[in-house]
């Protein structure tokens, strides 16, 4: 099931990307139609005796511990032989319910534990039977750059691709595989990833905002505002590059705050550039500011923030 993506920011993609997304939507729409039309046949293929036998052999080859029912792989074979028809009928009529997983804790080298859930052998066999029929349908639709939960692909092969094809150096000591939902506002390449009630979100991480604002403060400092036009150009160049990188993130409310703060900084630069009281008064009047307001403004010499 696709997740909704929170996207209130400035999200822009070129025509090539739009075409790619359109093709993906068409492909998946076709899958859903085919799925609805062949669902009975697909379920029949999943529960076909030969497919089920092949699934059990795969589970047996993978070995593994029993689930919550305590049934071993060896004990599961006679059970399946005796109850296969009953199991098939329950699945056909939507009355089959998987058993809870057995929770186990595997010690980590650093002293922590990794929590795992072990399904029963019967559930693992059924999962394998489903996989054997679905993989040939969905596998051709994945991109070459997708390595998660695919046949003959794993984290090691994705690392090899990065190193051999993209010529990137992977620090194996510092690199790790984590769920982006296990940590609130998971930081990745300057972004904050996570999930809320609206679905999956992509935002600019708080530290990235701090660096952005710090750089803008440096570019709009009073010391660098001898001439406003060069300062504005430097700010525009930096902000444009930053927005091009973080443009996929949701940032509307934050950008409104930054804009208000930056406008105040720029007004400060202009105020300093005018320097003399007479110059400020004359320029304010030239901009259409009423005399009383212009006189009040120039009577306050401070422009600090």
Mean pLDDT of 22-30: 51
Please state the rounded mean pLDDT for residues 68-88.
92
Take residue 273 and report the two structure tokens written for it. 């550039």
pLDDT (average), residues 30-55: 75
What are the start-end ranges of the E strands in the chain?
A: 5-6, 102-107, 113-118, 186-188, 191-196, 199-204
The pLDDT-based confidence of 26 (bands split at 50, 70, 90) is low
- 103, 102, 116: which is closest to 68 by C-alpha? 102
Distance CA 60, CA 43 (A): 23
pLDDT of residue 15: 40
**Phi and psi dihedrals of 144, rounded to 5?**
-65, -25
Q: Which has the minimum average pLDDT: 87-96, 132-141, 255-264?
A: 255-264
Distance CA 291, CA 36 (A): 75
Phi, psi (deg, nearest 5) at residue 200? -80, 135
Q: Between residues 298 and 145, which one has the greater pLDDT?
A: 145
DSSP 191-221: EEEEEETTEEEEEE-HHHHHHHHHHHHHHT-
Confidence bin at 284 (pLDDT 50/70/90):
low
Point out which residues pair with 107 in neighbouring strands: 113
Under a CB-based contact definition with an 8 Å cutoff, are residues 250 and 203 in contact?
yes
For residue 146, pLDDT over 70 is answered with yes
Q: Which of the pair, 44 or 35, is modelled with greater confidence? A: 44
Question: How many CA atoms does the CB half-sphere of 52 hold within 13 Å?
Answer: 20
Closest to 79 (Cα-Cα) out of 50, 61, 110, 56: 56
The mean pLDDT value for 255-275 works out to 76
Q: In the predicted model, is pLDDT for residue 22 greater than 80? A: no
Compute the distance between CA of residue 238 and CA of residue 7 in angstroms, rounded to an integer: 23
Q: Which of 247, 252, 256 is closest to 191 using CA atoms?
A: 247
pLDDT value of position 19: 47
60 token code pair: 């047996």
Say if CB 299 and CB 285 are below 8 A apart.
Answer: no
pLDDT for 108: 75
Residue 301 predicted with pLDDT over 70: no
Per the CB < 8 A criterion, the answer to whether 246 and 203 are in contact is no
The two beta strands, 199-204 and 5-6, are parallel
Among the listed residues 231, 239, 248, 132, the one whose alpha carbon sits nearest the alpha carbon of residue 191 = 248
Q: What is the per-residue pLDDT across 89-123, written as a single tens digit (0 to 9) for each?
A: 998 888 989 999 999 888 876 677 888 899 999 99
Above 70 in pLDDT, residue 298?
A: no
Structure tokens at 172: 């194996």
Residue 10: count of CB within 10 angstroms of its CB: 15
Query: Residue 203: pLDDT above 70?
Result: yes
Closest CA to 132 of 46, 7, 235: 46
Q: Could you give the 3-state DSSP secondary structure of residue 142?
A: coil
| Per-residue confidence band for 1, with pLDDT thresholds at 50, 70 and 90 | very low
Using DSSP, state whether 54 is helix, strand or coil: helix
Average pLDDT, the chain: 76
| 92 vs 197, more confident | 92
Distance CA 295, CA 110 (A): 68
What DSSP designation does 98 have? P
How many other CB atoms are found less than 10 A from the CB of residue 186? 16
239: CB partners within 8 A, 6+ apart: 216
pLDDT average, residue stretch 167-193: 68
pLDDT exceeds cutoff 60 at 3: no
């Amino acid at each position: 099931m696709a997740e909704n993506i929170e996207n209130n920011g400035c999200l822009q993609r070129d025509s090539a990307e739009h075409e790619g997304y359109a093709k993906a939507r068409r492909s998946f729409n076709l899958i859903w139609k085919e799925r609805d039309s062949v669902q009975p046949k697909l379920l029949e293929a999943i529960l076909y005796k030969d497919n089920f036998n092949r699934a059990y052999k795969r589970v047996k080859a993978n070995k593994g511990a029993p689930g919550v029912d305590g049934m071993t792989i060896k004990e599961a074979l006679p059970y399946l032989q005796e109850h296969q028809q009953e199991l098939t009928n329950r699945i056909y009529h939507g009355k089959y319910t998987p058993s809870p997983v057995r929770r186990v804790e595997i010690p980590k080298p650093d002293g922590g534990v990794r929590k795992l859930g072990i399904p029963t052998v019967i559930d693992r066999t059924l999962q394998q039977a489903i996989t054997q029929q679905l993989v040939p349908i969905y596998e051709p639709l994945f991109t070459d750059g997708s390595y998660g939960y695919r046949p003959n692909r794993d984290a090691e092969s994705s690392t090899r691709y990065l190193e051999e094809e993209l010529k990137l150096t992977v620090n194996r000591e510092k690199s790790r595989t984590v769920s982006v939902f296990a940590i609130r506002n998971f930081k990745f390449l300057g972004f904050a990833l996570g999930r809320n009630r609206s679905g999956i979100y992509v935002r600019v991480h708080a530290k990235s905002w701090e660096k952005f604002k710090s750089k803008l403060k440096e570019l709009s400092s009073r010391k660098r505002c001898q001439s406003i036009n060069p300062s504005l150009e430097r700010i525009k160049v930096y902000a444009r590059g930053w927005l091009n990188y973080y443009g996929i993130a949701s940032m509307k409310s934050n950008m409104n705050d930054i804009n208000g703060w930056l406008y105040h900084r720029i007004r400060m630069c202009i105020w300093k550039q005018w320097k003399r009281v007479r110059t400020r008064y004359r320029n304010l009047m030239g901009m259409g500011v009423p005399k009383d307001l212009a006189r009040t403004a120039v009577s306050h010499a401070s422009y600090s923030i």
